[in-house]
A and B are shown apart, each in its own frame.
Chain A
Amino acid sequence: MIKLLIDRQLPSSDAIAARRNFSEILHGLPKKKTINSPWFYGAIGFSSVIFLILLNFFV
């Protein structure tokens, strides 16, 4: 159900400005996922080496 408000008092520009908080906005941004684990890079490196060895065998 829609609510009707007649002659509602809008907050003043000063009151709105006082609630501005840019750091809150920056804080609310989703964190970028970065993979810093050496295991991740190690696993990729290791599987690449295995792949190359197998490729050497079968081709």
Chain B
Amino acid sequence: MSASLLYFDRFGKPEDELAIIERAKLNPEYFAPLYRKYHEAIFRYVFKRVDEEESAYDITSCVFIKALTNLPKYEYRGIPFSSWLFRIAKSELYQSFRDKKARRTISIDSMQIGKVMEEFQIDESEHKREVLLKVLPLLKESQLQLIEMRFFEKRSFREMGEILDLTENNAKVKTFRALIKLKELYSKTNNIKN
């Protein structure tokens, strides 16, 4: 199954949601099905980027309040509603980092580090893994976001583009550049350590 099909399978067809959105623009109570549908996905997105669970719940609530407040301005232009919500989540996250209500965190599974190492064509060892984890926070925030979405959240380039307001191709190119940068940082640090 292609990545885009998996994406729509996960979030449903956009046409199904448009009717709910139009009704919710007139009466916010009609938004409930969309809230139930996306609450978990938005929470997981936020949770992986903050250090405290409670902050993640608070930010998730703020995302939906902001979404409902701005719903009258929402127009479907080929971008799924979920991506619009993720964009709001992204801006709410950065707002809370600026306000120091939450701390920027990267949540990684050991398995996913292996995937990045595979991409670098470096054999897995405890030392190399340590070096990679050490250099990861040295990336620019925009590059970190791409690596996070692609390798730690397994998002398609299309989905990444929609969330980050990039074309699919641009997301691909920027992820590739972020990987090169990460590899450079890794090589430098690894050489110093050796």
Binding site for B on A (CB under 8 A): 1-8, 10-11, 13, 16-17, 19-22, 24-26, 28-30
Contacts and interface: CB of A to CB of B under 8 A. Distances in A.
Chain B interface helix/strand/loop/mixed: helix
Contacts of A11: 47, 53
23 contacts: A2-B106, A2-B137, A3-B104, A3-B105, A4-B105, A4-B106, A4-B108, A4-B137, A7-B109, A8-B107, A10-B47, A11-B47, A16-B43, A19-B43, A22-B32, A25-B61, A25-B64, A25-B68, A26-B29, A26-B68, A28-B61, A28-B65, A29-B68
A4 B39 contact: no
A6 B108 contact: yes
Nearest to A28: B65
Given A4-B133, A4-B136, A29-B69, A24 B61 contact: yes
B47 A5 contact: no
Interface of B: 28-29, 31-32, 35-36, 39-40, 43-44, 47, 51, 53, 57, 61-62, 64-65, 68-69, 103-110, 113, 133, 136-137, 144
Contacts of B133: 4, 6
Contacts of A25: 31, 35, 61, 64-65, 68
Nearest to B47: A10
Nearest to B68: A29
